[in-house]
Structures are given as structure tokens and as C-alpha cells.
Amino acid sequence: ARSWWSSARELVARVRREGALPQRVREEVTSLAQAAKRDADDFAAYADTTYRAQTGGISDVVPCALQWAQNSTTVFLGVKYAQRWSAPGAIEVVDVKVNLTECCFELEGFGHHSSIRKRYLVGLRLFADLLPEESAWSAASVGRLTATLRKAKPGVKWPRLTQEKGNSKHQVTTWLDMQERWADELSANASKKAKDKGRKDGGKPEDAPKESGKTKAKPAKAPLQAWRKELSRIWKRLRKALRGSELPS
């Protein structure tokens, strides 16, 4: 087949070098080119239809195993084409489609494992919103995919990957290497937020505590007043006694 194409190109090139291309040759070449294009389109359509027929009826659906980590601005997601992260996965997965929206991460792909065609799926409603236009994904090592998901609200630490607290159809584990890599950045961000909150709260005057409705107890009178009165009475009696004891001169 390649020799025929080479011969045809050489024939057309020689005719052009020698002069104008004859009408009969031009029509023949155009007709052959159009026929070749139709045959190629028909073959592509047949291959696509056959592949869809083979994958469309696959009943062996595999929810992919997941690993995740985060820093203050980004969630890092690892996908393995296997039901468990420790299990061997599909070596080659084709027709991979990823859909990233503000709330969700979805994936679909088809592959073979142990000579059995399988359909691999991921369907996640994430804990918080994303910025899809700033997020990306790419094929990683064999049988894996990684995604970088940008948080819509940076600085907020996600307590979990998904909104649902219960069991997930996916095996979800921590991406330890990535989490250790960003541990210091997460800690620094948390400390900064705590300091900012402390400064903000410290700038507001605290309201004085209100009384609970009870009347204040009056302070007891000092005993000095009673002693003062008693001393005054003694002094008066003493003065009378002194006057009575005075002798005439």
C-alpha cells in the first residue's frame, strides 16, 4: 500500500514539473483521493461502532481506589484502576473521560484485567467547591491517574475528601507521601489563621459582666463608732469626778 501512495505522489510531482497537469489525470487523482477518504472514514466508523459494542455491555464495573492529600490551596487526588490500592490494576485503560465541575470529580475508562474487559468509574461529590478552570489531571504511572484540584476557598482544611461521612463505594486512603510533603505548609497556615483571629478578637472591648439581679450586700459598720461613743461617755464621767474632788483654795 505504501508503494502505491509513493508512486502516485511521484507521478503527480513529475507531471507538475513537466507542465500543466492534464485534465484527465487531475480528475483521476481527485476521484481516487475522495474514494480513499471515504474508505478511511468508513473504517473509523466501523472501528468505533465495534468498540462501543464491546464496551457498552460491560457488566464488570470497578469503582477505582483513591488516595488524597491537601495543602492550603489544593487537593491532590490519585486514582488507581483497581478496586483496592494494594491490588494489581489494569495496565492499559483507554477512552478515559474526566469531568471536573465545581462540586464533583467524575471519571470513566475501559481496560482489561486478567483477560476480562472492565469499566472503571469514579464518582465523587467533594467536601467543598473547586475551581474547575484551575484544576487539571494527567496519566501517571502505569494503571494510575493523578488530579490537582484547586480549592474555591483557599486556607480551609478539608476534614475529609467527600461530603458524605458514611462508607464510600471507593476505597479512599491518605496519600502519605504527599501529605508529609505539605504538612509544614498546612501547620503554618493554621497558626497564621489562629494569630489573625486572636488579634481580631483582642481589638474589641469586652463587655463588663452584668449582675445577675442580686443586690449587693451592704458592708458591716466598723466597730470604731461604738468604741468612740463609749469612750466619750467615760470621759464625761471622769470630768465630773475630777470637778467634785477639787479642794477650795
Please list the helix, strand and coil fractions of the chain in percent, rounded to the nearest 5, in that order: 40, 25, 35
Mean pLDDT by 10 residues, the chain (249 residues): 69 72 74 84 73 59 96 97 92 93 97 87 97 95 93 95 91 96 92 80 53 54 68 79 62
Contact 115, 158 (CB under 8 A): no
Distance CA 168, CA 162 (A): 9
Distance CA 81, CA 205 (A): 58
Quote the pLDDT of residue 87.
Answer: 92
Spatial CA neighbour of 172 closest among 58, 70, 103, 97:
70
Task: Determine how β-strand 74-80 pairs with β-strand 65-70.
Answer: antiparallel
List Cβ neighbours of 186 (8 Å cut-off, separation of 6 or more): 70, 71, 72, 157
Query: Cell 489563621 sits at which residue?
Result: 193
Distance CA 80, CA 8 (A): 48
Quote the pLDDT of residue 57.
Answer: 55
Distance CA 182, CA 210 (A): 47
Quote the pLDDT of residue 159.
Answer: 95
Quote the pLDDT of residue 214.
Answer: 54
Quote the pLDDT of residue 205.
Answer: 46
Contact 119, 60 (CB under 8 A): yes
Quote the pLDDT of residue 20.
Answer: 64
Query: Cell 475529609 sits at which residue?
Result: 160
Q: What is the dihedral of CA 218, 223, 226, 230, to 10 degrees?
A: 180
DSSP letter, residue 220: P
Quote the pLDDT of residue 223.
Answer: 61
Quote the pLDDT of residue 221.
Answer: 56
Spatial CA neighbour of 119 closest among 138, 97, 100:
97
